[in-house]
């Protein structure tokens, strides 16, 4: 395994922003999963998914000093992720589907793991049936637990629009789920 001399030196690099005590490494440790999930649910798959996430944290390093207040860090990060996905990867955006890695059949998978795969496949299949703008608010509200004001800030929307879209998204999601269950019962 070739070791790269640059990698472990970076731990000493603090990239401390001028205005506060938060470093990019701290932001990374706390919110990496969220950024990854967000990019994933915005349609990114490997290898673009890793590229997007890396780019998000490069932006964070550059702009963390201009960020004020930890309360909306997640919304700030989501805004960055969304912007990068839209501006750089519009053409390569893939459809919402189960991640390819879940297609690999592994005999050692437990029942729970197989069941989880099925659930995830179902979830993404349902999300794919929502309009983009409905899906976005739905994911942030239902899967990330963001509040209405947080979503409004992240998506730069009026709060009323956010609630209206959440309502529409919930209805659409439920309808899609019913259709999927009906197909399972009737078709297979």
Partner 1 sequence: MSLSPEAERLLQRTKHLDDPSQADRAAMRARLSASWLAADQSAEATDVRRQAVSRWTKIAWGVLSVVALIGAGAWVRGQLMPAALPPSAASPVAPSSDCTGDCAPAVARAVDPSLEPPRLGAVHAPEPVPAAAESRTPSLAREPRPVRRALRASERSASTEQRRATAPNTSPALPLQAAAAAPQVEAAPVREPPISTGPSAYAKAEPVPDEPAPARAPAPVESAIDDELALLGDAQDALRAGQPERALRLVQSHGFRFPNGALAQERMTVHVLALCALSRPNSARQVYAQLRRSVADAPVLERVRADCGF
Q: Which residues bind partner 1 (CB under 8 A)?
A: 1-11, 13, 15, 24-25, 28, 32-33, 36-37, 40-41, 50-51, 53-55, 57-58, 61-62, 116, 119-120, 122-123, 142-143, 167, 170-171, 173-174, 177, 181
Decide whether 49 or 156 has the Cβ nearer to partner 1: 49
- Give the nearest distance from C-beta 160 to partner 1 in angstroms: 15
Cβ proximity to partner 1, 33 vs 156, nearer residue: 33
Q: Are 19 and 68 in contact (CB under 8 A)?
A: yes
d(CA 50, CA 159): 31
Q: How far is the CB of 130 from partner 1 (least distance, A)?
A: 12
Nearer Cβ to partner 1 (44/75)? 44
């Amino acid at each position: 395994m070739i070791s790269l001399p640059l990698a472990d030196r970076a731990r000493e690099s603090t990239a401390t922003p001028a205005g506060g005590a938060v470093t990019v490494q701290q932001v990374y440790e706390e919110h990496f999963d969220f950024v990854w999930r967000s990019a994933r649910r915005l349609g990114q798959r490997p290898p673009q998914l890793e590229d997007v996430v890396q780019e998000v944290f490069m932006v964070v390093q550059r702009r963390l000093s201009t960020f004020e207040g930890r309360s909306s860090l997640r919304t700030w990060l989501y805004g960055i992720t969304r912007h990068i996905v839209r501006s750089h990867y519009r053409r390569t955006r893939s459809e919402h589907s189960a991640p390819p890695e879940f297609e690999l059949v592994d005999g050692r998978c437990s029942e729970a793991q197989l069941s989880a795969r099925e659930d995830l496949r179902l979830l993404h299949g349902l999300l794919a049936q929502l309009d983009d703008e409905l899906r976005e608010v739905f994911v942030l509200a239902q899967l990330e637990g963001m509040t209405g004001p947080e979503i409004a800030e992240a998506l730069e929307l009026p709060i009323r629009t956010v609630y209206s879209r959440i309502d529409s998204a919930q209805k659409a999601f439920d309808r899609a789920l019913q259709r999927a269950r009906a197909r399972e019962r009737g078709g297979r």
